[in-house]
Chain A
Amino acid sequence: MSDIIVRVVTRLMIPYLQLYGLYIILYGHNSPGGGFAGGTVIASSLILYVLAFGIDDEDLRLSPSVARIIESCGALAYVGIGLGGILLGANFLSNKAAGFPLGIPGRVFSGGTIVLLTVSIGLKVASTMITLFVNIAEKEGEEES
């Protein structure tokens, strides 16, 4: 694929898409959105990149093996935050009950562990979508060749 318009527009759009994804993740506890929606937006920006520049592009910053590691780490981080509740003497996934500060409602850093949880979900979802897409794309490439 060597369409110049697609490439230029993609290059322009990707930063905004990723920023928007980050916004949705970080404001998940204050407004509609959250880890899953934001993670999907971030992943879609990378999928767009692959569609425009091809899967073998050397500038692709997120290699599939790194994506797999991030995927596992996102899930483990979620569980780790949940276990933090237990370590602080409350139940699994406890938030205020375990003593996490809630902050001022409406701010980015409020809601105790919820920001951390949405961030780890965002990481997990974004990297999973990327891995899925790359796997399917590579499979098709193999069959064609």
Chain B
Amino acid sequence: MITAHIMPLTILLPLVGAYLILLVGSKYRLFARNAALAITGATFAMVCYITYLVSSHGKMSYYLGGWAPPLGIELRADPITAFLLLTFASVSFFVVLFAYDILPGEIKGKVVTRYYALYLVLLGSLLGIVLSNDFFNIYVFLEISSIAAAALVAVNGDKLAMEASIKYLVMSTLGSGTVLMGIAGLYMVTGYLNLDFLAGALPQAYANYPLTVSMTLGMLTVGIAVKAALFPLHVWLPDAHGSAPTSSSAILSGLVVKVYIAVLLKLLYRVFPLDFLAAMPLQGSLLVMATLGIFIGSIMAIRQRDIKKMLAYSTVAQIGYVFLGIGLFSEKAMVGAIYHVFSHAVMKSMLFLSAGLLIKYSGKRTIEDLSGLGRIYPIPMVAFSVGALSMVGIPPLAGFMSKWYLGWGALEANQLPFLLVLLVSSLLNGFYYLPIVIGGFFKPAAVAIKEEKIPLGAQISLLVLIAATFFFGLFSNIPVNFLTPTVQGIFNAFGGGI
């Protein structure tokens, strides 16, 4: 029974868990974190099972209510979605594990229960977006995720976070509204919401209504770009991710901005026909925005003195890499983009979590004040260093492999300048990450540091993330071999890319 219904159950588990936590957790304060840990763990296990099923049986489809599309809502898992699901479920589990003892000290006691409920709603919506094969369903989950994410920023109720959260909510709602308009346009010209049926009907619709279809592509891309913080639509991100509590920053920067990229991937590679995309100025604008994002994100990050703000700007730059990989329209670059979604999720959540610990123990957020912490708190500082080196792209870490595939994709697409972009931006990454690493280990402590024991859950979580960064740098062939046939299939169907 579980096998046949695994996809809806995986989305439902966190959502049901959220309401159970609200129901039971208001009486028993310790219930929330234990339940959240168990539920994210179970979700992770179920996602592993989905991945196993996809790798052994291929694509899976599920019709809600037994209604076949185009009438009903379809859930779909293929290797790319399974890989993304695995990324989301694993990172969110380790963030909860990290927060187990940390979170109650970081946010007000009475909102802890609600915090975990929101967190699980967010996780459920992320999984829902990735699994849905129906555009309106994707939109509903997009809305759930943006509201839950904005609430996770504002959970503490301090002024900065409130302001950032409102900004985030407004921008994100603008993005959703634009996406909704795009979906409405597609529905208007085709009469379908299911992605496969849309793909089948779009060539004819494009012949009849070229302007409407071009506009929908524009609206969908811009709407997604706002939510995914592609330059120059990133303005909400640094404040929101910089002022949120540690575990919120980790999941927002690591996962939430990525899920919109999953939607974009579905759009570009499953819905719109190739000749249409080639006729639109999409590739050029994606590549220009991505390149600008990479450079300006990095330069802004160099200027920051606040470590969380710096990490947030670094996310703007890293999102640029992913859009670069998508915009190159080549097989290797797309593998690189999907791989970077994963490796950046691991690295950035590790960086935010370890930075959160360092801030907690030093009591300061500025970069200079973090020096010398490596000697007293080796685990968070090593985690930060591994994440930083991986961001810069030092082999054999995971960040190197995603850049490797992106660079290979740039060569494959005959776009040599973008190889240079990758190289120069790695240098820029080094500029702002390495001083922290050097200062953390080799400089004397700048401020009086409390010596406390790091909670066990946080230690385990950081160690696992460090191990994952090494493992997926050394054995990148495992996920790449899992992804390549699907990506190849996409490009073969397109006649070898654009």
Residues of A within 8 A of B (CB): 65, 68-69, 71-73, 75-76, 79, 82-83, 85-86, 90-95, 97-98
B170 at the interface (CB under 8 A from A): no
Query: By the criterion CB–CB under 8 Å, are B66 and A91 in contact?
Result: yes
Query: By the criterion CB–CB under 8 Å, are B65 and A94 in contact?
Result: yes
* B150 smallest CB distance to A (angstroms): 15
Hey, which chain B residues are within 8 Å of A79, CB to CB? 12, 15-16
Q: How far is the CA of A93 from the CA of B66 in the complex (A)?
A: 8
Least CB separation from B5: chain A residue: A86
* A49 smallest CB distance to B (angstroms): 24
Query: By the criterion CB–CB under 8 Å, are A91 and B63 in contact?
Result: yes
- 21 residue pairs of the A-B complex, CB under 8 angstroms, read A65-B26, A68-B22, A68-B26, A69-B23, A71-B22, A72-B20, A72-B22, A76-B23, A82-B12, A83-B12, A85-B65, A85-B66, A86-B1, A86-B5, A91-B62, A91-B65, A91-B66, A92-B8, A92-B64, A92-B65, A94-B66
Q: How far is the CA of A101 from the CA of B130 in the complex (A)?
A: 34
B197 at the interface (CB under 8 A from A): no
Hey, which chain B residues are within 8 Å of A71, CB to CB? 22
B20-36, CB < 8 A from A: 20, 22-23, 26
Hey, which chain B residues are within 8 Å of A83, CB to CB? 12
B408 at the interface (CB under 8 A from A): no
Given A75-B19, A79-B15, A92-B5, list of 6 further CB < 8 A pairs? A68-B26, A83-B12, A92-B9, A92-B12, A94-B66, A97-B65
Hey, which chain A residues are within 8 Å of B22, CB to CB? 68, 71-72
* B481 smallest CB distance to A (angstroms): 32
The 9 A-B pairs of least Cβ separation, nearest first, read A97-B66, A92-B8, A72-B23, A93-B65, A72-B19, A91-B66, A94-B66, A75-B19, A72-B22
* Most chain A Cβ neighbours within 10 Å, of B9, B12, B66: B66
Q: How far is the CA of A72 from the CA of B121 in the complex (A)?
A: 13
State the main secondary structure of chain A at its contact with B: helix
B55-78, CB < 8 A from A: 62-66
* B18 smallest CB distance to A (angstroms): 8
Residues of B within 8 A of A (CB): 1, 5, 8-9, 12, 15-16, 19-20, 22-23, 26, 62-66
Hey, which chain A residues are within 8 Å of B12, CB to CB? 79, 82-83, 92
Hey, which chain B residues are within 8 Å of A86, CB to CB? 1, 5
Least CB separation from A75: chain B residue: B19
* A92 smallest CB distance to B (angstroms): 4
* A86 smallest CB distance to B (angstroms): 5
Query: By the criterion CB–CB under 8 Å, are B16 and A93 in contact?
Result: no
* Most chain B Cβ neighbours within 10 Å, of A69, A73, A93: A93
Hey, which chain A residues are within 8 Å of B9, CB to CB? 92
Query: By the criterion CB–CB under 8 Å, are A91 and B20 in contact?
Result: no
Q: How far is the CA of A69 from the CA of B1 in the complex (A)?
A: 31
Hey, which chain A residues are within 8 Å of B1, CB to CB? 86
Q: Which of A69, A75, A93, A98 contacts B64 (CB 8 A)?
A: A93
Hey, which chain A residues are within 8 Å of B62, CB to CB? 91-92
Hey, which chain B residues are within 8 Å of A73, CB to CB? 23
* A66 smallest CB distance to B (angstroms): 12
* B402 smallest CB distance to A (angstroms): 36
Q: Which of A76, A94, A95 contacts B19 (CB 8 A)?
A: A76
Query: By the criterion CB–CB under 8 Å, are B23 and A95 in contact?
Result: no
* B280 smallest CB distance to A (angstroms): 37
* A100 smallest CB distance to B (angstroms): 11
* B32 smallest CB distance to A (angstroms): 13
* B422 smallest CB distance to A (angstroms): 44
* B175 smallest CB distance to A (angstroms): 23
Q: How far is the CA of A95 from the CA of B67 in the complex (A)?
A: 10
* A113 smallest CB distance to B (angstroms): 9
Least CB separation from A96: chain B residue: B66
Q: How far is the CA of A90 from the CA of B66 in the complex (A)?
A: 7
Q: How far is the CA of A93 from the CA of B64 in the complex (A)?
A: 6
* A126 smallest CB distance to B (angstroms): 16
Q: How far is the CA of A3 from the CA of B1 in the complex (A)?
A: 61
Hey, which chain A residues are within 8 Å of B20, CB to CB? 72, 76
Least CB separation from A86: chain B residue: B5
Q: How far is the CA of A140 from the CA of B44 in the complex (A)?
A: 41
Hey, which chain B residues are within 8 Å of A93, CB to CB? 64-65
Q: How far is the CA of A90 from the CA of B20 in the complex (A)?
A: 25
Q: How far is the CA of A62 from the CA of B478 in the complex (A)?
A: 56
Hey, which chain A residues are within 8 Å of B66, CB to CB? 85, 90-91, 94, 97-98
Q: Which of B5, B23, B26 contacts A91 (CB 8 A)?
A: B5
